[in-house]
């Protein structure tokens, strides 16, 4: 596997692929790779001639009191896994390569960046948008792959791609869960055994939301109150938000319908977890 760390070299690699008229599938990550990333990589491999994976723990998307320094960095293991998967190009620049001294450009998402997770993580989605835009400019993917777990991120990236006329198709793949239903996330590594056991209540509460909708309950408030009751019955869980939203605008809905998204964020111990379900 070619491990590329400089902007100059990734541009050369992309040019060589484009000159050969091959398609590029791109899987952007922050490393600490798990089955969720692998499902993106497997689909990218099926749908493209070449797959480029990036690993970059993007400082711009972490708030001052967030976990930038603790975020798991497992580059050697990640490289082994990617080689085993037959990936032939990994882009893993360092901070100064991505943000040279004097870097000052931002991407503003207006309404979308202040909702849901954006409320308690100010600046987070600007950081995501700017790094994804830079990566798209460098890698020029035909398709780029993201997990549904980060639902708001996928909405924002799709919107940015449309608004800025970027030539990439955004593919969103279902959340990969462990056997108990916990959405896979690099941050799950922070959970103690007890916290992890409690974290299963997130998915249980989402399944309950689906079963309420299935039984004909349309009132979003009622479903949210039920989720709240479930989550509040765990001492370790502190709710950030529970919302039922329109899948494109992220505006709250009063009445749920097929396609509405139940999204939630909680803190368990020192770990912030998010999850969501698209109602059938």
Residues recognised as catalytic? 37
Residue of 50, 78, 142, 150 interacting with ligand PAF (CB under 6 A): 150
Distance CA 15, CA 38 (A): 26
Two structure tokens written together for 216: 């004909």
Is residue 109 close enough to count as binding ligand PAF by CB under 6 A? no
Q: Assign 234 to helix, strand or coil.
A: coil
Two structure tokens written together for 53: 């994976």
CB of 21 to ligand PAF, least distance (A): 27
Half-sphere exposure of 141 (CA within 13 A, CB side): 27
Q: Return the number of the residue (175 or 212) whose C-beta is nearest ligand PAF.
A: 175
* Number of residues that this document lists for the chain: 280
Distance CA 217, CA 148 (A): 24
Distance CA 46, CA 41 (A): 9
Q: How many residues bind ligand PAF (CB under 6 A)?
A: 10
Is residue 168 close enough to count as binding ligand PAF by CB under 6 A? no
Beginning with the edge strand found earlier in the chain, give each strand of the sheet holding 261-268 in spatial order.
Answer: 237-245, 261-268, 271-278
CB of 154 to ligand PAF, least distance (A): 9
> Of the listed pieces 85-93, 124-132, 160-168, 267-275, which binds ligand PAF according to CB under 6 A?
124-132
Q: Return the number of the residue (58 or 260) whose C-beta is nearest ligand PAF.
A: 58
**Which neighbouring-strand residues pair with 272?**
267
Distance CA 33, CA 53 (A): 11
Per-residue interface string for the shown chain with ligand PAF, residues 221-250, x marking contact by CB under 6 A: ------------------------------
Is residue 58 close enough to count as binding ligand PAF by CB under 6 A? yes
> Of the listed pieces 12-20, 25-33, 69-77, 174-182, which binds ligand PAF according to CB under 6 A?
25-33
Two structure tokens written together for 137: 């400019």
Q: Return the number of the residue (48 or 61) whose C-beta is nearest ligand PAF.
A: 61
Q: Assign 31 to helix, strand or coil.
A: coil
Is residue 170 close enough to count as binding ligand PAF by CB under 6 A? no
> Of the listed pieces 1-9, 26-34, 68-76, 240-248, which binds ligand PAF according to CB under 6 A?
26-34
Q: Return the number of the residue (98 or 220) whose C-beta is nearest ligand PAF.
A: 98
Is residue 138 close enough to count as binding ligand PAF by CB under 6 A? no
Angle (CA) 141-97-41 rounded to 5° is 35
Please name the residue that has the structure tokens 């103690």. Answer: 192
User: Which residues contribute to the site for ligand PAF (CB under 6 A)?
Assistant: 28-30, 58, 61, 128, 131-132, 150, 153
């Amino acid at each position: 596997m070619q491990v590329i760390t400089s902007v100059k070299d990734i541009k050369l690699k992309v040019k060589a692929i484009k000159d050969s008229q091959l398609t590029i599938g791109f899987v952007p990550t922050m490393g600490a790779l798990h089955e969720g990333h692998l499902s993106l990589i497997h689909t990218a491999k099926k749908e493209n001639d070449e797959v480029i994976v990036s690993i970059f723990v993007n400082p711009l998307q972490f708030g001052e009191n967030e976990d930038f320094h603790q975020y798991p960095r497992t580059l050697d293991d990640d490289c082994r896994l990617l080689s085993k998967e037959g990936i032939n190009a990994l882009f893993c620049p360092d901070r100064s390569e991505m943000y040279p001294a004097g870097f000052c450009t931002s991407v503003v998402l207006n309404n979308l960046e202040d909702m849901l997770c954006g409320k308690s993580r100010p600046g987070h989605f600007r950081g995501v948008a700017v790094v994804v835009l830079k990566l798209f400019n460098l890698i020029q993917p035909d398709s780029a792959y993201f997990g549904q777990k980060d639902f708001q991120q996928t909405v924002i990236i799709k919107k940015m791609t449309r608004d800025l006329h970027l030539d990439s198709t955004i593919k969103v793949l279902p959340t990969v869960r462990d056997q108990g239903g916990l959405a896979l996330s690099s941050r799950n590594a922070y959970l103690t055994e007890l916290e992890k056991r409690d974290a299963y209540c997130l998915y249980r509460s989402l399944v309950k939301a689906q079963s309420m909708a299935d039984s004909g309950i349309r009132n979003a408030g009622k479903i949210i109150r039920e989720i709240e009751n479930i989550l509040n019955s765990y001492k370790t869980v502190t709710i950030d938000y529970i919302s039922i939203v329109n899948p494109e605008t992220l505006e709250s809905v009063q009445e749920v319908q097929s396609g509405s998204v139940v999204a939630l964020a909680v803190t368990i111990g020192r770990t912030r977890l998010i999850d969501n379900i698209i109602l059938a």
